Chain A
């Protein structure tokens, strides 16, 4: 029994991190669906939801005004969700008459802020962006070009994480993002990505359905609804947004916790996404999103079952697992060294 549990857990973990990317590589070779990208100037509404963004608002507006897209075709909408740090005052100062502002004095959350922004959108295409990330000048143009293909309902751009030297981050979180973008590119070539990048994505406005209040991942729910409705949600790495890489694993943990809670919410809100014949990207959704949710339980099962299996190769597996977790503890100590030193100093000070 322990052997069966061990191998099921082991296979599941290997599949999620290595088997699935290999499957995508093969699948893409057999059935690649190219997008007919054609540069055009459709009307676009760029929607940015903000709460307390005092430190970002000026740079964001400047960034929007510098985008390489005809001003008469680009409507910038900022949906303010009860800011308390003066974001609204700063926004009015720097935006002038060029931005449509929706100001809600009562705090309702991001999903409702996006719904309010969409209510005044006039563009054929709606683009979503976050306040904290900088868009590349050509970002709108690159995203819009994909809508020349009628089968495309949503397009996700790529978030490029920059390190301290302003190059693309290649370690830790940066490495994870590069792996993630490779997966998305392959998924997109086959059919669709099961989720866009919140910092930069666009959809056809006619396909938008208002978000349920409290929705955590608008960038997953909106594209998934579009895919379930029969259109494609693709990934275009030529449309880029930039952000600084999160240096600490704990910072990334908080982000990850939120997105994974959002994945549970997604399955609860869109149960038809779990029905193979109703979801054209069922395999991708299960492998990419649900797979990540089950890995921790598989890791626990792997370790527990290994406690009962001590012969031959199982001994090596046990050794490797114990070493791995000891290294994780060392990593925790290294990561929190500064905090512990400060705590010690405080104790000495008292």
Chain B
């Protein structure tokens, strides 16, 4: 019962989170931040940011 309730409570959160993903995705796309799996450009940028 407690487990089922926990799952139900997570549904709205999951829905909101999944709908935040396109907004974040657009931000990454517009900023030209590649998100490909092990994309070298993404790694380079992360390193640059760390150095800054």
Does more than half of chain A's interface fall in helix, strand or loop, or is it mixed? helix
Q: Which residues of A contact B39 (CB under 8 A)?
A: 109-110, 214, 216
Distance in angstroms between the alpha carbons of A335 and B14 in the assembled complex: 10
Chain A residue at minimum C-beta to C-beta distance from B16: A328
Does the CB pair B19–A257 fall under 8 Å? Answer: no
Q: Which of A226-260 contact B (CB under 8 A)?
A: 249-250, 252-253, 256-260
CB distance from B40 to the nearest CB of A (A): 5
Within 8 A of B (CB), among A164-185: 171-173, 176
A residues bordering B, Cβ < 8 Å?
51-52, 81, 107-111, 171-173, 176, 214-216, 249-250, 252-253, 256-265, 268, 292-297, 299, 324-325, 327-332, 334-335
What's the minimum C-beta distance from B31 to chain A, rounded to whole angstroms? 10
Also in contact, A331 and B26, with CB within 8 A (given A51-B38, A109-B39)? no
* Pick from A52, A249, A295: contact of B13, CB under 8 Å: A249
Option from B21, B35, B40 in Cβ contact (under 8 Å) with A108: B40
A253 touches B20 (CB 8 A): yes
CB-CB nearest in chain B for A263: B25
19 additional A-B residue pairs with CB within 8 Å, beyond A111-B36, A265-B29: A214-B36, A216-B35, A256-B18, A256-B21, A258-B25, A260-B24, A260-B25, A260-B26, A264-B25, A293-B25, A325-B16, A327-B9, A327-B12, A328-B15, A328-B16, A331-B10, A334-B9, A335-B10, A335-B13
Contact A264 B19 (CB under 8 A): no
Residue numbers in B under 8 Å from A329 (CB-CB): 13
Q: Could you write out 22 A-B pairs with CB less than 8 Å apart?
A: A51-B38, A109-B41, A172-B11, A173-B14, A215-B36, A249-B13, A249-B14, A253-B17, A256-B21, A260-B21, A261-B25, A261-B26, A268-B29, A293-B22, A295-B22, A296-B19, A327-B12, A330-B13, A331-B11, A332-B13, A334-B6, A335-B13
Q: How far is the CA of A14 from the CA of B35 in the complex (A)?
A: 30
In the assembled complex, the Cα of A214 lies from the Cα of B13 at a distance in Å of 31
Q: Shortest CB–CB separation between residue B1 and chain A, in angstroms?
A: 15
Q: State the 3 A-B residue pairs at the shortest beta-carbon distance, nearest first.
A: A331-B13, A260-B25, A261-B25
